[in-house]
Chains A and B, each alone.
Chain A
């Protein structure tokens, strides 16, 4: 009397679909584009949208790592991403020093630095059992100090022309390389989370760490890996940011910490972890970028934008952030 093939109850419901974070985010993006166009004609022009996408890609790449760490649960969060972005921009700028020949070395160096920061974060969180919030905040402080020492207050390093071109100039089908890179990262993330056992493991650990452990999953290794990936994604964003701005300047990465978290939550991954995915996060990153741009258009300065972002995160927590009690 197996009833395995029982017809499932129809789970199609318009309301459910409309309520998914991805749909909400996309709807808001469209709304904001119209609003921007209304406030300042030309806001939603093709060129302008392309520019917005480049900026969104930078934020989105940082958010990919943030997304992984948050999915892994146990209050997972990486506050050090901004520091890693800055650090990578500095390292890359100095290693390539405006020469295309230094690009490969720069990429390798930055990824290694990002991975190292992530590894230390991961070890602190798993083996030393330091709460992620504290661990990564402390790491952020260390990185900020390190940056001051390295730079000594003077902007240093220059992007190689090839890198700047990759980030800002059309590369394929009129889109710059960074957008293609982001698309590839999006596909890789979807594959990782949905079609690999590491993905299953990430969700399992985020949902019920004890059960994951009892099923033989390497809980600590996986969690360390998440922090390492987060450091590496932030490093990639740092390199791209250097290409975008030409040279690295004071705390260039700092602006990414809060938005990377908001993008993840906006995209439907609750801060409690265990569910969600990267597609929504990508939409969240675009949404935040458009919002940022509109705020700039209507002459709200950086501090005002920060306030709007902070309030957005708190507001989001009301809708998505709090994990609903699961029937288990």
Chain B
């Protein structure tokens, strides 16, 4: 899932300080799971902002809501009857949700309330780690289920590099060497012979090198 972290309160205060009616919109999807932008976080942010502006003597009406997803038009439509009451909206969704909300209500000022970080997994509550970079051409079948694009700092296809030491990456000793992980896993699977065949250069056109991407699934369209 997409992982995000809440923006510092000071940054959000600075964004909304010139308005008097602000709506905070959460997302019940990924950002709820990583406790950055769900209904609970919306309520905490709303209450914190009300406390701040009250003690500062500034009139500020802050309302709160959360949508099932902000990356779908039908859920964004649920705001259509009320969004005009507000001068600005703070979206606690990931970057996709913030943009889609701004696109749907293009004359409304929309600010992000979280910093979107990566696609990853929950190692434990409050600890998230990157696992996929959405390169558009999955090679996990050949790498023991461990992605060298996401897990190797250099995105090497024929690793490890000379910077791998005692299973750790030279970029940061807290990072596991992705290729060490791949080697260990292939050894367990009895597939070490995969190392005997060099991997051809990757076609990055399916990744960001091909510009902003779009999927069109004709089989799903009406």
Q: Do A and B bind each other?
A: no
Name A's B-contacting residues (CB within 8 A): none
